Chains A and B, each alone.
Chain A
Amino acid sequence: MSEAAPVVAFLGRPNAGKSSLFNAVTGRRAKVGNFPGITVDVEEHDTTLPSGRSATLCDLPGLHRLDGALGEGTDEELARRLIDRLVDGPRPAVLLQVCDATRLALALALCRQARARWPQAPFVLALTHVDELAEEGAELDAARLADATGARVVATHAAAPDAARLVLAAIDDAAPAAPVDFDPEAVAAAVVKRTSTARRGPRARTDAWDRALLHPALGPMIFIGIMAAVFAAVFLVADPVTDALDAGTQRLAAALRPRLGDGFAASMVLDGALGGVGTVLVFLPQIIILIVALEALEASGYLARAAFLLDRAFRGFGLGGKAFVPLLTGHACAVPAITATRVLREPGERLATILVIPLMSCSARLPVYTLLISAFFGDSPLRRAGIATALYVSGIALGLVAARVMRSSVARGRSLPLLLEMPLVRRPMLRPILRRAWLEAKEFTWRAGSVIFAASIALWILLNTATRPAAYEGEPLIDRSVAAAFGRGLEPVTRPLGFDWRINVGLVGSFGARELMVGTMGVIFGIENAGKEPAPLVAKLRDAKAPDGKPAYGAPTAVALLVFFVIACQCISTLSAVRRETRSTKLALFVLVYTYALAWVCGALAFQLTRALSP
């Protein structure tokens, strides 16, 4: 056995439970690493095996097969290329295939291909979901499976307390074996002993669920219900929490103000830092609720059901049902959603999906939606949730229409028929979901504390630097600041949408990160109202005055701004993800131009229409 530290590649079919087992073995401490030579994020973790050797574990993208024309840049092709590199690399490679024990024959077909392609690498078969197999009344003969395949076999499930120990021990013991060929069907039939043929346990439960979830009439209703519930919950549940946090921030500012005095530094801390960062941070609960809901849906197996239900409708827009998963992920964040398009095999369909993902309302838009809806569309929570849902729906509808247009222009190509495994319906495990939520919360807080903090301070400085002396006695500094001059310069462009200089400053700031819109408003109105009683930003927005003394913003401006935020791709990270996945700067610029142009046109239409219709 080699003394050098091996690299262990976790491979397996999608839904085999690979990432769950990987997380269980690494204790959820894995870091996202970057594979040398390939710009793919792979979770890696250094660990110590029972023998004292160290080893690096890495979690590869899922794959169904190793033969055939695997499209370049798809999950399958990336996983195959990564293992090729590992096996030829300087460190000894161990292949560990995670197999769903309830679907052993398919897993063994992949195992056979992997053993044939990389015969020199020690191989571990890690069977998961053996608890479900037991519940079905079936028994598994692990020794026989090891004999037939030449692999070390470990049978466990991700929630088992000894899963990590068993898997690490198997990795430690794995040794190169003589090449064998076997019939996956025959081996699977021989090693799984079923005491009865009746469908029971998880399979019977899945059958019952599917009768409702995939019912021709009930199924679509459940789907719409689930989606509406998720998006409404984001508002109904998070609204009061957000209000409470907002009130807390106000109290903090009020408590700090007497201590800090009226000086320059005090204004920078209270109006700049607290106004910017505090305003953004209060939107944390909504984002967490959204992430938890999406993760739970994914873990339950429901997304494959949704793809089945939507496939026919999506074909009308040039996409297949599988495109639903990246599009749904886009409601949390466009960057992982663009990565998730790697499951799509047909290049034209994948490109069209990438190009329209930015139209899905991501969680960074939530703060802007919430602020504007609370300020201008009444106090009824149901009405607010309804408007928010309408915004989500319009993003999706626009995305589908745009996909249709792309498929007959920049993203032509054939459409592949759907072929998708329907996983068992399972109760989601709580810990991985909470871990994801925790990671999101950390990321969001970090962004608020770094990017948004820095931007808020910069904005505060620009708002407090005069371009000219006061035109009259007592003209506020902010009205003749650098930022105001800049925002006014843009007014001719944004006037058809009803935006003033303050919104323009926010729009420019929000190009880097959408939450900055809210932070900018927090800083501007914090400075303008510095001498007054502290009030929620919502109230300040409603009471804002234009130079002629009339209210600066009304429903038409709010509608136009909401429409603008639904459509415009104000996010550098998204553009760089588009560039990375399409390997084209032109396409990234195309996304920027088409979304901004569309946002301007639709925003202007929305402003003019709302103004014409309002009394």
Chain B
Amino acid sequence: MTLAELDRGASARIDALPDDLDAASQCVSMGLRVGASASVLRRAPFGGPLHVRVGDVELAIGRELAARVTVSR
């Protein structure tokens, strides 16, 4: 499943980042790395971004990008 599909309040382990190297490097620079645990705090309505906690950092992540991050529970 992807990070975008994760229920609100649920947490999961990140298994894979986007294929595109630049997007992946950007994710890593924000703390989204393979093996890290991410939880969805809330989603903005109408397909807006997700509010995600990874480690001790909180991020706003656009839904398209979250859909390219693979996670497992």
Chain A interface residues (CB < 8 Å from chain B): 64-65, 67-69, 102-106, 109-110, 185, 206, 210, 214, 216, 304, 307-309, 311-312, 320-321, 416-422
Size bracket of the B interface:
20 to 34
Question: What are some 28 contacts across the A-B interface (CB < 8 A)?
Answer: A64-B29, A65-B29, A69-B22, A105-B57, A106-B31, A110-B29, A214-B44, A214-B51, A307-B60, A308-B44, A308-B48, A308-B60, A309-B48, A311-B60, A312-B47, A312-B48, A321-B49, A321-B60, A416-B62, A417-B61, A417-B64, A419-B27, A419-B30, A419-B61, A421-B30, A421-B58, A422-B58, A422-B59
8 pairs of A and B residues whose beta carbons are closest in the complex: A417-B62, A312-B48, A65-B29, A68-B25, A417-B65, A418-B62, A422-B58, A64-B29
Check B49 against A312 for contact (C-beta < 8 Å).
yes
The closest CB in chain B to the CB of A211 belongs to B42
Chain B interface residues (CB < 8 Å from chain A): 21-22, 25-31, 41-42, 44-49, 51, 55-66
**A304–B58 CA distance with the chains assembled, in angstroms:** 11
Residues in chain A near residue B41, CB distance under 8 A = 210
Residues in chain A near residue B29, CB distance under 8 A = 64-65, 68, 106, 109-110
Check A214 against B65 for contact (C-beta < 8 Å).
no
Check B44 against A311 for contact (C-beta < 8 Å).
yes
Contact partner of A419 among B26, B47, B48, B56, CB < 8 A? B26
Check B51 against A422 for contact (C-beta < 8 Å).
yes
Total number of residue pairs linking A and B with CB closer than 8 Å: 96
- Distance between A140 CB and nearest chain B CB, rounded to angstroms: 13
Residues in chain A near residue B48, CB distance under 8 A = 308-309, 311-312
Residues in chain B near residue A109, CB distance under 8 A = 28-29, 31
Contact partner of A312 among B22, B30, B31, B45, CB < 8 A? B45
The closest CB in chain B to the CB of A67 belongs to B25
Check A68 against B30 for contact (C-beta < 8 Å).
no
Contact partner of A65 among B21, B26, B63, CB < 8 A? B26
Check B61 against A418 for contact (C-beta < 8 Å).
yes
The closest CB in chain B to the CB of A308 belongs to B60
The closest CB in chain B to the CB of A104 belongs to B56
The closest CB in chain B to the CB of A102 belongs to B56
Check B65 against A419 for contact (C-beta < 8 Å).
yes
Residues in chain B near residue A420, CB distance under 8 A = 59-60
